């Protein structure tokens, strides 16, 4: 996880729909788990995604993802999805994310770059000051 950053955690239970025919979590399901954690993290900071679009005219989109799958999760496992803000720039920020099975068995880790884009043109644009201030406070 990133140094100097508070870690956010979100619990996730593995459902049957998250698995393949062998009951092992399908690789793309980890991306959904991480997306849920990012959404809840932003919500916890006071930013609802539809409101960002309406009030600030921006969207956040994944522009780069590097992921390492280390161990499989299985149907009905309780997982802990965490994230920490690693760094941020004018129009993007990078999150370190992990998916663990209790009591801290690392299953998957990722580095995710989130780009801020204009909601209409979809072109990169600076993170609005109110959001930047909250992100900086979290770092």
Residues that are catalytic: 20
At a CB cut-off of 8 Å and minimum separation 6, what does 104 contact? Answer: 80
Q: Compute, in degrees rounded to 10, the torsion defined by CA atoms 58, 40, 22, 73.
A: 120
**CA angle at residue 33 from 105 to 55, to 5 degrees?**
135
């Amino acid at each position: 996880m990133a140094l100097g950053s508070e870690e956010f955690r979100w619990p996730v239970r593995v459902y049957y729909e998250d698995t393949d025919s062998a009951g092992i979590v399908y690789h793309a399901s980890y991306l959904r788990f991480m997306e849920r954690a990012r959404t809840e993290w932003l919500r916890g900071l006071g930013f609802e995604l539809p409101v960002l679009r309406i009030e600030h005219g921006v969207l956040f989109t994944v522009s780069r993802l590097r992921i390492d799958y280390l161990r499989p999760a299985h149907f009905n496992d309780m997982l802990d999805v965490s994230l920490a803000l690693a760094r941020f720039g004018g129009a993007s920020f990078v999150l370190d994310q992990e998916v663990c099975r209790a009591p801290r068995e690392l299953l998957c880790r990722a580095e995710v770059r989130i780009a801020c884009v204009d909601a209409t043109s979809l072109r990169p644009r600076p993170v609005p000051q109110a959001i930047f201030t909250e992100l900086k406070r979290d770092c």
